[in-house]
Chains A and B, each alone.
Chain A
Amino acid sequence: MPEVTPGDSGDGVQIDLISGARMEGLTSMEKIRLILDGVRDGNIVVLEEGLSPDEESKLIEVTMTEISPDEFNGIEIETYPQSGSANQGFLGRLMGKESTKKLTVIGPANQIETLHKDENLISALVSRK
């Protein structure tokens, strides 16, 4: 497959698939910056292992501070709902048993629309800018 540089994508939609290993060494704010910089460029960002609940909370907060009329409306983010079994309680988390690994798709709110979502299926429509 011939390689194109980010500027050559023309009318297409760029998708960044970010591995868990790539995110592992980053701080929470570095992760959030990596995601929002990509999304603000119009890219769809797919995280192999998602974010922790605390990072998700900060992602919402930082997204809100960056929303600007006619420029950036915010993000659409999709992950699978956590099942009841994921609720392991305080001790489980203390013992490091918590698993936050869940595929996460994030894109600009005006380009990605969720068509269907349930416990094990996410269906989304991605449009060009």
Chain B
Amino acid sequence: MWYLHTPLHEADREAREARMGLFTELRDSISRVVDRMFSDSEPKRIGIYGPPNAGKTTLANRIARDWTGDAVGPESHIPHETRRARRKENVEIERNGKTVNIDIVDTPGVTTKVDYKEFLEHDMEKDDAVRRSREATEGVAEAMHWLREDVDGVIYVLDSTEDPFTQVNTMLIGIIESQDLPVLIFANKTDLDDSNVQRISNAFPQHETVPLSALEGNNMDEVYGKIAEYFG
């Protein structure tokens, strides 16, 4: 009967090895997640999100210029100037003797509609307006994909002169919360007379709101302090 035992031993050994393989795989996978959560060397990818014309690129450029000397991309008052997600790597922010290393991802403004006719109002030819709207739609789709897959934290930028109770804001904050991503809300354009930071704090009381003017560089000390605190 010994020949019966051999295959059984063999099967037993294979099962044991399979279990060990599974265990090793699980251990490696947990280790990767833990490494990613606690590693200081890997820069966190921080997505700058918000509706079109909130000042996302102005903010990204302000942060990048302050800490690396380079800009991220061109700024414009025409909506959908940013139509591709742009990443600025290894931005080192120093706060309270500690260095925080982040990648800034400037994303196209999120919307649920794009009409090329809106661009015609900005002295654009039809062909250019159609091309811009097509690129804008691709950019928004890309931004949504980044949000689901590729960012570790979010800076949500709002124009503090505008009503924050919009559907895009409601949905995006909900999507960010559902991903369990750390989020800071930046109430931008405080240099303008109509700015109302309190309205934004009231709209999203579950998150911290930081007032700033990315254009004028107002309150950037607090901005960098909060970035270090939330994403460091």
Which residues of B have CB within 8 Å of A57?
A: 144, 147-148, 171, 175
Q: Which residue of B lies closest to A59 (CB)?
A: B112
Q: How many A-B pairs with Cβ below 8 Å?
A: 92
The answer to the question of A127 belonging to the interface, with a C-beta cut-off of 8 Å to chain B, is: no
Give the number of chain B interface residues (Cβ < 8 Å). 33
Q: Which residue of A lies closest to B174 (CB)?
A: A53
CA distance A118 to B203 in the complex (A): 9
Whether B166 lies near A117 (C-beta < 8 A) is: yes
Q: Which residue of B lies closest to A88 (CB)?
A: B177
How many Å from the CB of B90 to the closest CB on chain A?
A: 28
Among A54, A58, A73, the one with the most B-chain Cβ atoms within 10 Å of its Cβ is: A73
Whether A118 lies near B167 (C-beta < 8 A) is: no
Whether A74 lies near B112 (C-beta < 8 A) is: yes
The answer to the question of A20 belonging to the interface, with a C-beta cut-off of 8 Å to chain B, is: no
CA distance A75 to B140 in the complex (A): 14
Q: Mark A24-59, 1 if CB is under 8 A from B, else 0.
A: 000000000000000000000000000011101110
Which residues of B have CB within 8 Å of A76?
A: 112-113, 167
Interface positions of A (Cβ within 8 A of B): 52-54, 56-58, 60-61, 63-65, 67, 69, 73-82, 84, 87, 89-90, 93, 109-110, 114, 117-119
